[in-house]
Structure 1
Amino acid sequence: MRALLVVNPKATTTGARTRDVLIHALASDLKLEVVNTEYRGHARDAARRAADGGEVELVVALGGDGTVNEVVNGLLHDGPADGLPRLAVVPGGSTNVFARALGLPNDAVEATGVLLDALRESRERTVGLGLVSGTPGTEDEGVPARWFTFCAGLGFDAGVVGRVEQQRVRGKRSTHALYVRQMMRQFMGEQNRRHGTITLSEPGGEPMSDLVLAIVCNTSPWTFFGNRPVYASPEASFDTALDLLALSRLSPAAVARHATQLLRSTPERGPRGKHVTALHDLTDFTLQSQAPLPFQVDGDHLGLRTSATFTGVRRALRVIV
């Protein structure tokens, strides 16, 4: 089988020696080409070339969720189609939400062993993904569409992601303590804790307004706090469309309550209360804000947005598991 391995050499948890071992293991079973990413978007470009060429049957992403997202966007540049290379993931980032949601080990060496076994046994599944694009008739209309594997967010959580990225540019390591600190700083800087600016609109439905944050989930768990899975939308699944968790208040009491609920969340129960909106299996909807808000996709901060249109696409991509 001809395969392309896309490696992020700056991946948080995978050193050069480990990468060499993994490459050797994969090359023993595959006709392997290796690309080491050198710039933002390189993984996307390499995966797109693999999809367009028609000869590569498998693309393996070795890195964190950002690397996986780029590879997915490269593979699906022209949309889902029969004959696209399958995707495999070897986790190398700090959180690895997509890989862990697929049930893969968080250790890169163990995950490589699982991948090789899956290839020998022809184990794969087809997963649904999210697609977000600019909203027609708004200033974001021309923003390129972006696929995402596990989540997107408008408002508070995206602001935290942006703050963490700024700290990483300054040389800070991506740790859970870093996320907690930036979450507190984002909260202290929030201007609209009680009166949100976000409106949710669905075709044929009544708009929901005054939301202060919106998290769109394509799977559950939504993230991990250390080894603890966090379930923002417990019903979210790769087999359905998109789920949404929205809050209409960010007072200190509300933040404390919902943070506790998230940390104690289970596959059966997530955040709840009168300021919580939880929706399941949404195919098409739009989020619009009266003021520009931080926006993130799969943990990648994309700047400020006033609107985003979401589509849940079932059976979008084949993945080795």
Structure 2
Amino acid sequence: MRALLVVNPRATTTGERARDVLVRALSSAVDLTVRYTERRGHATTLARSAAESGVDLVVTLGGDGTVNEAVNGLMTAPAALSGISGPAAYALPALAVVPGGSTNVFARALGLPSGWAEGTSVILDGLRDGRHRVISLGRADDRYFTFTAGLGLDAAVVRRVEQARLRGRTSTPGLYVRAMVGQFLTGVDRSDPPMSLERPGEPRASGLGTVIVQNTAPWTYVGDRPVDPNPDASFDLGLDVVALRRLNVAGTTRTVTQLAWRSGDLRGKQVLRLHDQPEFTVVSSRPQAFQLDGDYLGERQKVHFVSVPSALRVIC
């Protein structure tokens, strides 16, 4: 079996020694090529080239951003676009994820261990036993995502965190909390929620201040605690949505408290929740911050979301 290991050398929780151990372990089971990412988007190029060359397995060592890039490389390889019969998952290399980031939501949502050593052991066992799982993906316009997408407040928080990390701050739960408080108090226009959600054959939902899309549960983690506005979201179903109609202080504080302590028990007039959606479009009257899998991707005024069933095989 031929495999490519895509390594993000800036991964938060792994050093050179850990990478060496990982390479030796994987090399004992597969014909391994190792490539290091050099810039944003490089993992997409590496994974696409691997798929085009007939590699059987792509392994990532990094965080959720590295996983997202690799998935987009696989899903835009010719095999995924050539009109094959049956799910794309069986025409593409399988994916294996070794957690190396600060949060690793995708790996944890798959039930993988949080440590890179334990994660590597799971991959080796899965390869030996021929074990894999076929999962759905989300697609936002032409970009795929594995666990979440967002427009509005949550994406603006991601933007703040990325800006702080560029200034040398470490990604921690506290950094996200401070970014959320700062964005809510100073960066949100609460008087005129700009977004609407449109579904085929359904009434438009208007006056939305932030929209969060889930392809699985949980949405994210704060340390070891899952944050789960839509606990029924699943890799085996369509997309789930939670949106807030207004971002007033009292209502948003109540919703954030529910998320922190009761997760799926979100209630209130300002909360819109949708389950197992095949497609929908979010439209905004003004540009909104946009994120996929925890990476900030700029601002958008319109995004079309689609669930892509049986898209990817994952070793887990």
Q: State the TM-score, normalizing by the size of structure 2.
A: 0.95
Q: 1:252 aligns with which of 238, 243, 249?
A: 249
Indicate if the aligned counterparts of 1:62 and 1:89 stay in contact, CA closer than 8 A.
Answer: yes
Amino acid at match of 2:29: D
2:183 aligns to what? Answer: 186
CA distance in structure 1 between the aligned counterparts of 2:90 and 2:113, rounded to whole angstroms: 28
Does the aligned pair in 1 maintain the 2:208–2:246 contact within 8 Å? yes
Unmatched runs of 5 consecutive residues or more in structure 1: 134-144
* Aligned partner of 2:103 among 74, 95, 103: 95
Between the aligned partners of 2:187 and 2:43, the Cα distance in structure 1 is: 34
- Once residues 174 and 38 of structure 1 are traced to their aligned partners in structure 2, the CA distance between those partners, rounded to angstroms, is 21
Give the letter for the 1:3 counterpart: A
Aligned to 2:85: none
Q: In 2, are the aligned partners of 1:86 and 1:320 still within 8 Å (CA)?
A: yes
Q: 2:91 aligns with which of 83, 87, 96?
A: 83
1:125 corresponds in structure 2 to 133
> Secondary structure, in 3 states, of the residue corresponding to 2:125?
helix
**1:19 aligned partner:** 19
**Structure 1 position 307 matched with structure 2 position 302:** yes
How far apart are the structure 2 equivalents of 1:270 and 1:194?
A: 26
The answer to whether the 8 Å contact 1:88/1:320 transfers is yes
Aligned to 1:137: none
Aligned residue runs from structure 1 range 63-82, under 5 A: 63-78=62-77, 79=80, 80=88, 82=90
Among 106, 115, 121, which residue is 1:113 paired with? Answer: 121
Query: Residue in 1 aligned with 2:266?
Result: 271
Q: Does structure 1 residue 104 correspond to structure 2 residue 99?
A: no
Equivalent residue for 2:30? 30
2:199 aligned partner: 202
1:118 CA drift (Å): 1.0
Q: Please point out which of 157, 162, 173 is paired with 2:159.
A: 162
CA contact (8 A) 1:194 1:212 kept: no
Rounded to whole Å, the distance in 1 between the matches of 2:63 and 2:246 is 32
Contact 1:194/1:248 (<8 A) preserved: no
Please tell me whether residue 151 in structure 1 is matched to residue 159 in structure 2.
Answer: no
Amino acid at match of 1:310: F
Displacement of 1:81: 5.5
- Equivalent residue, structure 2, for 1:140: none
Aligned-partner SS, 1:294: strand
Q: How many angstroms apart in 1 are the aligned matches of 2:165 and 2:38?
A: 17
* Aligned partner of residue 45 in structure 2, secondary structure: helix
Q: 1:112 to 1:81 in 2, by over 3 A?
A: closer
Do structure 1's residue 224 and structure 2's residue 221 form an aligned pair? yes
Deviation at 1:195, TM superposition (A): 3.2
Unaligned runs of 5+ in 2: 81-87
SS of the counterpart of 1:84?
Answer: coil
Deviation at 1:197, TM superposition (A): 0.6
Counterpart amino acid of 1:173?
T
Q: How many residues align?
A: 307
Output the CA distance in 2 between the equivalents of 1:255 and 1:35.
Answer: 44
On the 8 A contact 1:127/1:317 being kept in 2, the answer is yes
Q: What is the CA deviation profile of residues 218-237 of structure 1, one whole-angstrom value per residue up to 9, with x for unaligned ones?
A: 00000001000110211110
2-side partners of 1:230 and 1:104: how far apart? 17
Contact 2:89 2:134 in 1 (8 A): no
Contact kept? 1:218, 1:237, Cα under 8 Å = yes
Secondary structure of the structure 2 residue equivalent to 1:310 = strand
Q: Letter of the aligned partner of 1:82 in structure 2?
A: Y
Query: Any idea what SS the aligned residue of 2:35 has?
Result: strand
TM-score relative to the length of structure 1: 0.93
- Distance in 1, Cα, partners of 2:206 & 2:70: 35
Match of 1:40 in 2: 40
In the alignment, is the contact (CA less than 8 A) between 2:109 and 2:218 conserved in 1?
yes
Q: Which amino acid aligns with 2:150?
A: G
> Does structure 2 retain, via aligned residues, the 8 Å contact 1:203–1:285?
yes
* Superposition deviation, residue 191 in structure 1: 3.9
Distance across 2 between alignment mates of 1:81 and 1:220:
21
